[in-house]
Amino acid sequence: MNTSTPAGNRKLTLDDIADLRAYERERAEFRSHMIEVKRKRRVALGDIMTIMFENRDTMRLQIQEMIRAEKLVTDEGVLEELKVYNPMIPMPGQLCATLFLELTSEEQVREWLPKLAGLENSISLKLSDGSTVRGAIDAQHAAGLTRPDVTAAVHYLTFEFTPEQVEQFAFGPVSVVCDQPQYLKVAELSSVTKDELLTDLRP
């Protein structure tokens, strides 16, 4: 099967995914490397919300760990994982993020999931000129949100930038904003995180 990708395409292919034995040999070193990558890409928004900005490496880790857990050995099985996770690898001009609600008890789940209904439409990035880039969820994820009066603990967001917005992102401070009425929070990106995300936004 031809797994080549067009120039500039960051999506993963079968050739990028190690089989179980090969991954086991590299796993400790790769996971250690990914701790630092994720540290740069993780943003806490208040006490119960975390946003992880994904890239090719974070998605390769996710796919490899899923294959390891499920003991997938066929190309067909790996292709299914690629189909699920490749959309979360940003192309130039995009940022992709996983939003987690860090709810550690049943009591918190019962309190916060109804309180944060509509959360998936409430996350944006505020640029230094005051403009915003709002996160959007894809149709498949939206279809899974079957109850308007409750949110999910995990959301997948994509932020689409114009070339001008990319340069504005690079120019000055950038903040993650949640404007859900029950959880109004702002977190400014560190310079380390901003520099890391510019590698996603630029070709």
Per-residue pLDDT of the chain (203 residues; tens, 9 = 90+): 333 344 458 999 999 999 999 999 999 999 999 999 999 999 999 999 999 999 999 999 999 999 999 999 999 999 999 999 999 999 999 999 999 999 999 999 999 999 999 999 999 999 999 999 999 997 666 666 657 788 999 999 999 999 999 999 999 999 999 999 999 999 999 999 999 999 999 99
* 3-state helix vs strand vs coil in the chain, percent to 5: 45, 20, 30
**Neighbour-count burial of 126, counting CB atoms closer than 10 A to its CB (0-12 exposed, 13-18 middle, 19+ buried):** middle
Domain boundaries, the chain: 14-201
Q: Give the count of alpha carbons within 13 A of 128, CB side only.
A: 11
Encoding tokens for residue 34?
A: 């990914």
**Neighbour-count burial of 129, counting CB atoms closer than 10 A to its CB (0-12 exposed, 13-18 middle, 19+ buried):** exposed
Global confidence as pTM: 0.91
**Neighbour-count burial of 199, counting CB atoms closer than 10 A to its CB (0-12 exposed, 13-18 middle, 19+ buried):** exposed
